[in-house]
Chains A and B, each alone.
Chain A
């Protein structure tokens, strides 16, 4: 592999790790809130969460581009314009990964037996300890699953990045463009270059490998969760 290819893999990995780290805490928080039945406005939250599944990632990329602080805006005057190349990428992957993680986690939180949490508290556990020892203990395999899926989705994200790259190309130097050269982006650009076939092959295999590992981890975690959290009679019926 060429250094350029290795850079692409490293950038993809860095973005995926950062995305997962940024998205995981809010995903857990939102999933545990949404899982409680009977909250008003739940349908709206559901709709917003489902939107990115149906929405083209390209539109998300455009949205990020549109809302990115321009030179001369109030944000520019206080902290300066953030670099679109790594940070805009991160914003896109976060927007697309967060709903995916929430949707993975939600059934796990819905399956938590709330009475069990209450019983833990009658046994002397504080709200915090009951959360850790019951809720988190029962949902932790699905948390692993959400992390794996989220990592793979962020690693392979390309739709929104193509839009960002196109926008950058029209505006900035080629140097800035190198900032969006993730593995799938390298694959796309190698397709357009003569003699790029080996790069395409390597990148495609890398994408496949990451996705495969993520799915295997996710499925293994899912089975573990079903064994741990679902009563025997409902296994195989629920999610």
Chain B
């Protein structure tokens, strides 16, 4: 059967690998149409896992399946070569073929059995979608880095992959060009019905692109789950570089306040005001709030004109024994029933507070609470 984007299937990965100084054992699952990010410290084994999943690195044991297709099964002695697995690989260096033009690069992965007219059409369609029309006849060395990355991505998608691997795809892209490329990536990933595996050392890219997160620590899965839940879990922050303990909330832009240049975002049925975002009303956004910027009270604060206040319930209170100067409090936002009668998914938010505050207020799991934070403490990423 021809692999193709028309048959979405979940990807399950279970791998045992031996790398110099590192013994890797991981297991995770990526539903079709989901973007799963592997995150963790450098050297934790993310790259090796991605390579082994694609068949580029021999694994000692495990099993990789895509729906009903078994691509790798150590006990059953199944080990498909990369060209049969078809996990298109895009990394930061693009790896365009220098002796071919952009057009020839795009056509490289096309099904050789395709009629010439269909090939031309497929290439020009992709060129249009990725904005490569003006550079089709150039060689890769004559186009800039963002265009090379676009070409690599278009080439990967034209090869009708069964899964897509994005290994730090923006590594070589200058910071000022990243945003545009992220938009392109986001646009195309949303359209895809494939499982996508990605890794990036920059958390803002993960927050923008990924649906699920697998935290890899010293070759093991330290945690896995939806991005907002994983990144809102302070216990996970220790495994992540450049992540301050905090919360990630999914929301929808409701309206913009032109007078004060603020945007109102709906989070689990409650309103959060944030500095104005460049997003249309109804667009999905992710809010990131550091736990140290959040405080939790048992009663509504009377004078709260300037601050966001959300209702919730305390789910966890963590104190580092009786001596630490601070502790972490987790609260679940009150579930709201929206206009259509759907119950919104509960969002979790973490607050770092002094031990004195926690004890003086007598915070304990199960209590109703009010969660407050400044609008300026929120950073927003569009989805």
A residues at B contact (CB < 8 Å)? 113, 115-116, 118-127, 133-134, 137-138, 228-229, 232
Contact = CB atoms under 8 A, between A and B. Distances in A.
A61 B181 CA distance: 64
B95 A119 contact: yes
B89 A122 contact: yes
B56 A124 contact: no
A123 B156 contact: yes
B159 A123 contact: yes
Interface of B: 54-56, 81-83, 85-89, 91, 93, 95, 97-100, 108-109, 111, 141, 155-156, 159-161, 165
Contact of A118 (B89, B93, B99, B109): B89
A121 B98 contact: no
A123 B85 CA distance: 10
27 contacts: A115-B91, A115-B95, A118-B82, A120-B97, A122-B54, A122-B55, A122-B87, A122-B89, A122-B156, A122-B159, A122-B165, A123-B109, A124-B86, A124-B160, A125-B83, A125-B108, A125-B109, A126-B81, A127-B83, A133-B108, A134-B97, A137-B97, A137-B99, A138-B98, A138-B99, A228-B99, A229-B99
Given A137-B99, A228-B99, A232-B141, A121 B93 contact: no
Contact of B81 (A120, A121, A134): A121
B99 A127 contact: no
A238 to B, nearest CB: 14
A114 B89 CA distance: 13
Contacts of A137: 97, 99-100
Contacts of A119: 89, 95
A126 B89 CA distance: 15
A113 B99 contact: no
Contact of A124 (B91, B141, B159): B159
Contacts of B56: 118, 121-122
Contacts, number: 64
Which secondary structure dominates chain B's binding surface?
loop
B87 A123 contact: no
Given A122-B56, A123-B109, A116 B97 contact: yes
A124 B109 CA distance: 6
A123 B161 CA distance: 7
A122 B81 CA distance: 9
Most buried by B among A113, A119, A228: A119
B93 A115 contact: yes
A121 B83 contact: yes
A232 B87 CA distance: 29
A229 B98 contact: yes
Given A122-B54, A122-B156, A138-B98, 11 more contacts: A116-B97, A118-B82, A122-B56, A122-B159, A122-B161, A123-B156, A126-B81, A137-B97, A138-B99, A228-B99, A229-B99
B83 A126 contact: yes
A215 B109 CA distance: 38
A239 B97 CA distance: 21
Nearest to A119: B95
Given A115-B95, A138-B99, A123 B141 contact: no
Contacts of B98: 138, 228-229
A111 to B, nearest CB: 11
A128 to B, nearest CB: 10
Nearest to B93: A115
B109 A127 contact: no
Most buried by B among A124, A127, A229, A232: A124
Contacts of A229: 98-99
A118 B56 CA distance: 7
A209 B161 CA distance: 54
Nearest to A121: B82
A127 B99 CA distance: 19
A136 to B, nearest CB: 10
A113 B156 CA distance: 18
A133 B89 CA distance: 17
A169 to B, nearest CB: 52
A234 to B, nearest CB: 12
Contact of B97 (A118, A121, A122, A133): A133
Contacts of A115: 91, 93, 95
B92 to A, nearest CB: 11
A86 to B, nearest CB: 39
A122 B99 contact: no
A113 B97 CA distance: 10
Contacts of A113: 95
Nearest to A224: B99
Most buried by B among A121, A125, A133: A121
A127 B95 CA distance: 17
Contacts of B86: 122, 124
Contact of B83 (A124, A133, A134, A138): A124
Contacts of A122: 54-56, 82-83, 85-89, 156, 159, 161, 165
A232 B85 CA distance: 33
Contacts of A126: 81, 83
A116 B90 CA distance: 11
A134 B89 CA distance: 16
